[in-house]
């Protein structure tokens, strides 16, 4: 369990490796299988997730602690976070489109996709559940998103290699991808107990 008393380093490692959001928690799997066909797209998705997740957790933390808690409306957090994250991604898209067309072209289609990515919402919730302070919640979301990128990039690399291999016909495509993902997940279980986490 992560708590606010833990050091920044431990929170970061726990978020990125020990409790990897894709391979240990199994959150955000739709994009994990959807956009991991090619290395390029998975890197694009990973970068967009890092960007959106950090900003979304900053804003959702502020909204929760400075709007919901004072009014005793903690039970509204699901609806509020969905609203917050959706508007936030819209805003980000506009700002990026105006200020940096190259970045917009690179992230382009991934930004709207991320609006409905459960990993983003999960991190916003986990920040609250773990009672993390503002600064530590940023570190935590950075760790989670880097873990997401790490997992999806590795997965894309393996899938690109599998494309070239003589896979039995009944295993072609998603079945072999699922098997690969489960083996990767087993490998990540090896991090359990690292630094006593």
Partner 1 sequence: MIGQAILVLGGLGLGFGILLSFASRKFAVVVDPKEEKILEVLPGSNCGACGFPGCQGLAEALAKGKTEATSCVAGGAEVTKKVAKILGVEIEPKTELVAFVACRAGIKQAKKKFKYRGLNNCQADALLFTGDKSCVYGCLGLGSCAKVCPFDAISITAEGLAVIDPKKCKSCQKCVKACPRNLISMVPRAQEVIIICKNRDRGKKAKEVCSIACIACRICEKACPQQAISIVDNLAVIDYQKCNQCAICVEKCPQKAIGVRS
What number of residues does the chain have? 197
What is the rounded CA–CA span in Å between residue 37 and residue 15? 25
Q: Are 149 and 49 in contact (CB under 8 A)?
A: yes
Inter-CA distances, 116 with 4, 41, 43, 121, Å:
28, 18, 19, 8
What is the rounded CA–CA span in Å between residue 53 and residue 121? 9
Given the complex with partner 1, which of 45 and 88 has the nearer CB atom? Answer: 88
Given the complex with partner 1, which of 72 and 169 has the nearer CB atom? Answer: 72
Cα 100 from chain centre: 23
Given the complex with partner 1, which of 86 and 184 has the nearer CB atom? Answer: 86
What count of other Cβ atoms lies within 10 Å of the Cβ of residue 137?
Answer: 27
Given the complex with partner 1, which of 169 and 193 has the nearer CB atom? Answer: 169
Q: Are 185 and 24 in contact (CB under 8 A)?
A: yes
Given the complex with partner 1, which of 91 and 186 has the nearer CB atom? Answer: 91
Question: Minimum CB separation from partner 1 for residue 160, in Å?
Answer: 11
Question: Minimum CB separation from partner 1 for residue 26, in Å?
Answer: 30
Question: Minimum CB separation from partner 1 for residue 4, in Å?
Answer: 26
Question: Minimum CB separation from partner 1 for residue 76, in Å?
Answer: 6
- CB-based contacts of 187: which residues, under 8 Å, 6+ apart? none
List contacts with partner 1 (CB under 8 A): 63, 67-68, 71-73, 76, 79-80, 83-84, 87, 90-91, 94-95, 97-99, 101, 105, 164-166
Question: Minimum CB separation from partner 1 for residue 87, in Å?
Answer: 4
């Amino acid at each position: 369990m992560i708590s606010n008393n833990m050091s920044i380093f431990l929170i970061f490692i726990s978020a990125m490796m020990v409790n990897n959001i894709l391979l240990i928690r199994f959150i955000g799997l739709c994009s994990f299988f959807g956009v991991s066909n090619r290395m390029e797209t998975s890197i694009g998705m990973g970068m967009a997730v890092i960007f959106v997740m950090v900003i979304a957790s900053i804003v959702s933390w502020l909204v929760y602690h400075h709007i919901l808690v004072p009014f005793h409306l903690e039970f509204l957090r699901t609806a509020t976070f969905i609203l917050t994250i959706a508007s936030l991604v819209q805003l980000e898209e506009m700002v990026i489109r105006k200020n940096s067309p190259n970045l917009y072209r690179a992230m382009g289609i991934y930004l709207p996709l991320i609006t409905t990515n459960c990993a983003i919402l999960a991190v916003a919730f986990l920040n609250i559940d773990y009672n993390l302070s503002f600064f530590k919640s940023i570190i935590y979301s950075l760790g989670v998103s880097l873990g997401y990128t790490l997992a999806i990039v590795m997965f894309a690399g393996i899938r690109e290699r599998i494309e070239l291999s003589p896979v039995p016909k009944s295993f072609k495509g998603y079945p072999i991808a699922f098997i690969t993902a489960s083996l990767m997940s087993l490998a990540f279980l090896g991090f359990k107990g690292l630094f006593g986490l």
